[in-house]
Chains A and B, each alone.
Chain A
Amino acid sequence: MSTIQISNLHYQYPTSDFQLAIDQLSIADSLVAIVGQNGAGKSTLFKLLTGLVQPQKGAVKINQRNLATLTPEERLRTIGIVFQDPSSQLFNPTVEKEVAWSLSQLESDAELVQATVKKALASVGLTKLKDQNPFDLSLPEKKLLTIATVLAINPQIYLFDEPMMSLDWPSQRLVTDLMQYLAQTGHQVIAITHDMDWAAATFSKMVALAAGNVVFEGTPTNFFSCPEPVKKAGLLPPRIMTIAQEVFNDHHVYLTPQDYAEKYPAHQ
């Protein structure tokens, strides 16, 4: 399991007043949700975690190594990102070539590349579409394709920016299962999300951002038991909590309907 250590990180875009400023943040859990309103700094944090932008101050360390000192190859093997808009990371003429592209930068054994690509496509259910042009795919398929491109590299850390957005229900379940499998097999999965029902049901740690600062880090149960950071981050609690509050005047924390059913006898 990897540990990401952020200290005194400061970043400001050249053309806007927005500033991301994080004093200390340590991420060592296997399933982490980064939450907050639009403009809170979530995507900027992802760009800093992948080295797409460089901080003006401070550093990101992964397993005690400064991200800025990693070679491009080391970086690819350490951290992979699935962008919110899949079109921004697709450019090859076929689905298969798209998945093979990044891996080919790291691996010269053509047979190994081919076998890995095959496995990655099968993991996201896109085997049948391997000869299609990525731009002919539907939006959910494009999103699954971008996930396959990162799976093929098999980095230690996976970053997903709004992975549930634009996916239909079966694809959402597939991606959630895949993330849980990755976490169980020693990877770290970090996802930006607005979907609090999904975050509450899936992640063991939540980091909430508001106006470029971390306003909470801890478990989903702790997060949703403190109305202040939830409100500060511009979020709503999971729907099951709204139902309990509005219908039963019950202000306990519930993460899912199953959680409610389990706690129901004790709360009566």
Chain B
Amino acid sequence: MANYQKLSINQLSFTYQHDRVPVLNDLTVSVPLDHIIGIIGNHHAGKTTLCRVLAGIVPHIIAGNLVGSCQLGDQSPVQDWPAYNQQTGFVLQDPHSQLSGLADTVADEIAFDLLNHGVEETAIQQRVAAVAAQLQLTAQLQQSPDSLSGGQLQRLAIATAIVTRPTVLILDDPTSEMDPQGRSDFFNWLKTVTHTTIVIVSNEIDELCEIADELWVLEKGHLVSHGTPLQVMNHLSPKWQVATPTIYQLASLMNWPLATKPTLFPVNFNQLRRCVNVNHSN
């Protein structure tokens, strides 16, 4: 029976049309809605395909054999895609491929989906301005999308995805072309987004451990680990070849475990501060 408070994936497998080997293999996992879920894993792990399933692009646009179920709250990207799609924002790995290509300006590109949703003109202007401010694109609003840098294009793709106020936001490696400051600003902004279930694929393990409620580790199409960043990072198998956050590396080298869980090392600033305070006061 569906649990309307959760994102639930049950025995999910997927094989692309014309392929023989499944890209996703018997995934079962569930987390409460409004959580931030970080998906990590190496290449050919199935991260992008899982994002496509969660966005409904697979199997509705990209064909293949999907087995099992995927449910987000009271909707399913597999069964009720048109309705589900109205509530979902998706940022593709390559930002160029998701822009309409029809807009002369950044402002028109951001407004594109709102026009399709029949939002009235004044509201469109307000929402475009607000989203541009959030993603530091205000100065570029009257420029052509073609004139933007890689990092600005990624921010524009995110702006187009969030302007419709989706309750589910799926981000496939959204910061790959951003510079360090832009990336840091992006993750700080992501922390402020509320009432939204966010699924993000990223190699930025330090940042993911700061913001994610849950990490999923994929390896060759299998979900090999899931749980809080603290649990997942402290129980990695070397054969998954997954990077660890700097704080975890430091605490392991210095032998600074958590005071409350002496077998685990901290993975983010809050945990490190707590364990250092205890160590220093002893």
Residues of A within 8 A of B (CB): 37-39, 138-141, 165-166, 168-171, 194-197, 234-236, 239-240, 243, 246-248, 257-258, 260-261, 264
Contacts and interface: CB of A to CB of B under 8 A. Distances in A.
B269 A246 contact: yes
Given A168-B42, A247-B269, A38 B151 contact: yes
A58 to B, nearest CB: 27
A243 B245 CA distance: 12
Contacts of B250: 240, 243, 257, 260-261
A194 B43 contact: no
B246 A240 contact: yes
Contacts of B150: 38
Interface in B44-62: 44
A37 B42 contact: no
Q: Which 8 A-B pairs have the closest CB atoms?
A: A168-B42, A257-B250, A257-B249, A169-B243, A261-B253, A239-B246, A168-B43, A170-B241
Interface string B59-92: 0000000000000000000000000000000000
Contacts of A247: 269, 272-273, 276
Contact of A165 (B44, B176, B242, B249): B176
Given A247-B272, A257-B250, 13 more contacts: A37-B179, A140-B43, A169-B42, A170-B241, A171-B42, A197-B246, A234-B181, A236-B181, A239-B246, A243-B246, A247-B269, A257-B246, A258-B253
A180 B176 CA distance: 24
8 contacts: A38-B179, A168-B43, A169-B241, A169-B242, A247-B269, A247-B272, A247-B276, A257-B253
Main secondary structure on chain B at its contact with chain A? helix
B184 interface: yes
A261 B252 CA distance: 10
Contacts of A138: 43-44
Contact of B42 (A170, A246, A257, A264): A170
Contacts, number: 67
A260 B246 CA distance: 11
Size bracket of the B interface: 20 to 34
A226 B250 CA distance: 24
A196 B242 CA distance: 19
A247 B206 CA distance: 15
B180 interface: yes
Contacts of B242: 169
Nearest to B255: A261
Contacts of B123: none
B264 interface: no
Interface in B214-250: 241-243, 246-247, 249-250
A264 B276 CA distance: 14
Contact of B247 (A195, A196, A197, A243): A243
B1 interface: no
B179 A261 contact: no
B269 A194 contact: no
Q: Which among A168, A235, A261 has the highest number of chain B CB atoms within 10 Å?
A: A168
A248 B280 CA distance: 10
B149 interface: yes
Contacts of B41: 168
Contacts of A195: 180
A169 B203 contact: yes
